[in-house]
Amino acid sequence: MSFRRRKYPEVLDNLLTTMVGGVAAEAHPFPAAGEQQAFFLDQPPVQKIVSVYGTRNGDTVTFKAGTDYQLEADKQTLSWLNLDQPPEPGTLIHINYLREDTKPSLTDLQVGSVTRTLAESVALEIGRLYAQLQAVYDAGFIDSASGSALDKVVSLLDIKRIKGTRPTATIRLSRSKGARGNITVPAGTRVLDDQVRYEYETTETVTMAENQNTISVTARDLEPGNEPVEADTLTLLSIPIAGISQVTNPGPAQRARADETDEELRTRAKNFLHGSEKATDGALRQVLARNQLTADFDDAVPGLVTITPHGEDLSPERLEQLRKELELTRPAGVRVILAAPLTPRSLDLAIRLKTADKVVEADLRAAHAKVRKAISDYFEQLPTREDASLNQLVGRILAVDHVVDVHIDHAMAMVNNTATNLLDPAAGIIELADSPTVLGELTIADPNLPTELDLVISFPANADIPVQSQLENALSQALAYLNDLASEPVAPGDAEAQAKRTLNLGKLLLILPLPGRTPVLLSDHDNAPGPLPNPADIAPYQLQAFLSQASGLSVVLHDPSSHYQIGHGERLLLNTLVIQVEG
How far apart CA 223 and CA 162 sit, in angstroms, is 10
3-state DSSP of 1-64: CCCCCCCHHHHHHHHHHHHCCCEEEEEEEECCCCCCCEEECCCCCEEEEEEEEEEECCEEEEEC
How far apart CA 123 and CA 150 sit, in angstroms, is 31
Name the phi and psi angles at 31, rounded to 5.
Answer: -85, 160
Residue 138 has a pLDDT of 86
- DSSP assignment of 211-279, as one string? T--EEEEEEEESSTTPPPPPTT-EEEESS--TTEEEEE-SS--EE-SSPPPHHHHHHHHHHHHHHT--S
Residue type for position 490? V
Residue 258 has a pLDDT of 76
Residue 14 has a pLDDT of 92
H-run or E-run covering 572: strand 572-581
Residue pLDDT tens, the chain, 583 long: 567 889 999 999 999 999 988 999 999 999 887 767 899 999 999 999 999 999 988 889 999 999 999 999 999 999 998 888 889 888 999 999 999 988 877 777 888 888 889 999 999 999 999 999 988 988 888 888 888 888 888 888 777 787 777 888 999 999 887 777 788 888 888 899 988 889 998 888 888 887 888 999 989 888 878 889 999 999 998 877 877 889 999 999 988 777 778 887 887 777 665 545 444 666 777 777 767 788 888 888 888 889 888 887 788 888 888 888 888 877 777 888 988 888 888 999 989 899 998 889 889 888 988 998 899 888 887 887 889 999 999 999 999 999 999 999 889 888 888 888 899 999 999 999 888 888 888 888 888 888 899 999 999 999 999 999 999 999 999 999 999 998 888 776 788 888 898 999 999 999 999 999 999 999 999 998 889 999 999 999 999 999 988 767 788 888 888 888 888 888 899 999 999 998 6
Residue 282 has a pLDDT of 67
User: Quick check: bond before 9 cis, omega within 30?
Assistant: no
Residue 492 has a pLDDT of 66
How far apart CA 475 and CA 93 sit, in angstroms, is 92
DSSP helix, strand, coil percent of the chain (3-state; round to 5): 25, 30, 40
H-run or E-run covering 193: strand 190-193
How far apart CA 544 and CA 561 sit, in angstroms, is 14
Nearest Cα neighbor of 365 from 428, 474, 451 is 451
3-class secondary-structure state, position 414: strand
Residue 154 has a pLDDT of 85
Strand (E) positions, 57-165?
59-63, 69-71, 77-80, 91-99
Residue 241 has a pLDDT of 82
H-run or E-run covering 119: helix 114-138
Residue 567 has a pLDDT of 81
Burial class of residue 416 in the structure, from the number of CB atoms within 10 Å of its CB (0-12 exposed, 13-18 middle, 19+ buried): exposed
Q: Are the CB atoms for 89 and 36 separated by under 8 Å? A: no
Residue 437 has a pLDDT of 87
- Give the strand pairing for 345-355 and 437-445: parallel
Alpha helices in 291-359 (DSSP H): 316-329
H-run or E-run covering 580: strand 572-581
188: left (phi over 0), alpha (psi -120 to 50) or beta: left
* Strand arrangement, sheet containing 46-56: 23-30, 91-99, 46-56, 59-63
How far apart CA 490 and CA 498 sit, in angstroms, is 7
Nearest Cα neighbor of 193 from 333, 262, 337, 290 is 290
Residue 555 has a pLDDT of 85
Cα–Cα–Cα angle for 222, 224, 226, rounded to 5 degrees: 90
Name the phi and psi angles at 198, rounded to 5.
Answer: -125, 145
How far apart CA 84 and CA 46 sit, in angstroms, is 27
Q: Would you tell me how many other CB atoms lie within 10 Å of the CB of residue 5? A: 17
Output DSSP code: residue 340: P
How far apart CA 422 and CA 434 sit, in angstroms, is 11
Residue 576 has a pLDDT of 93
Q: Give, in order, the Cα–Cα distances in Å from 473 to each of 470, 524, 527.
A: 5, 16, 21
How many secondary structure helices (H) and strands (E) does the chain include?
A: 12, 32
Nearest Cα neighbor of 378 from 358, 395, 366 is 395
3-class secondary-structure state, position 494: coil
Q: Would you tell me how many other CB atoms lie within 10 Å of the CB of residue 510? A: 23
